Amino acid sequence: MLFSIALALLSSLSYGFSDFFAARAAAKLGVIRTTTLVYVFATIAVGIGLLFVSGTWAGGAVFWGAVAGVCAIIGFIGFYAGMAVGPMSLVSPLISVLEAVVPVCVAIARGDSLPPVAWVAIALAVISALLISLQRSQQHARIAPRTVIIAIISGVVLGLSITALDYAPKDSGLTPAFVELAVGVVIMLALVGVAALSTRVRTSLATLEVDAEESHSSDVPRRTALTMMLVGGILLGASNALLVIALQHGDLAVVSVIIGIYPLATIVLARIVLKERMSPVQASGVGLALVATALLALATG
Q: What is the pLDDT of residues 158-171, one digit of tens each?
A: 999 999 999 999 98
Q: How far apart are CA 234 and CA 211, in angstroms?
A: 24
Place 207 in a pLDDT band, splitting at 50, 70 and 90: low
Contact (Cβ atoms closer than 8 angstroms) between residue 132 and residue 18 = no
Residue 168 DSSP one-character state: S
Q: What amino acid occupies position 89?
A: S
121 by Cβ neighbours in 10 Å (0-12 / 13-18 / 19+) ranks as buried
Contact (Cβ atoms closer than 8 angstroms) between residue 14 and residue 238 = yes
- Helix (H) or strand (E) holding 206, with range, is helix 199-206
Please give the pLDDT value at position 124.
Answer: 84
Please give the pLDDT value at position 85.
Answer: 56
Contact (Cβ atoms closer than 8 angstroms) between residue 45 and residue 233 = yes
Q: How far apart are CA 296 and CA 242, in angstroms?
A: 18
The candidate with the shortest Cα–Cα distance to 96, out of 139, 127, 65, is: 127
Task: Kindly tell me the sign of the dihedral angle through the C-alpha atoms of 162, 164, 168, 170.
Answer: positive
Q: How far apart are CA 220 and CA 24, in angstroms?
A: 8
The candidate with the shortest Cα–Cα distance to 285, out of 256, 262, 269, is: 262
Cβ-based neighbour number of residue 7 at 10 Å = 22
Cβ-based neighbour number of residue 35 at 10 Å = 26
Most confidently modeled range among 94-98, 110-114, 246-250, 257-261: 246-250
Tally of domains within the chain: 1
Domain boundaries, position 70: 2-300
pLDDT at 277 over 90: no
Residues 6+ apart with CB under 8 A from 6: none
Please give the pLDDT value at position 107.
Answer: 87
Q: How far apart are CA 127 and CA 285, in angstroms?
A: 7
Q: Give this prediction's pTM.
A: 0.83
- Helix (H) or strand (E) holding 19, with range, is helix 2-29
- φ and ψ at 146, to 5 degrees? -60, -40
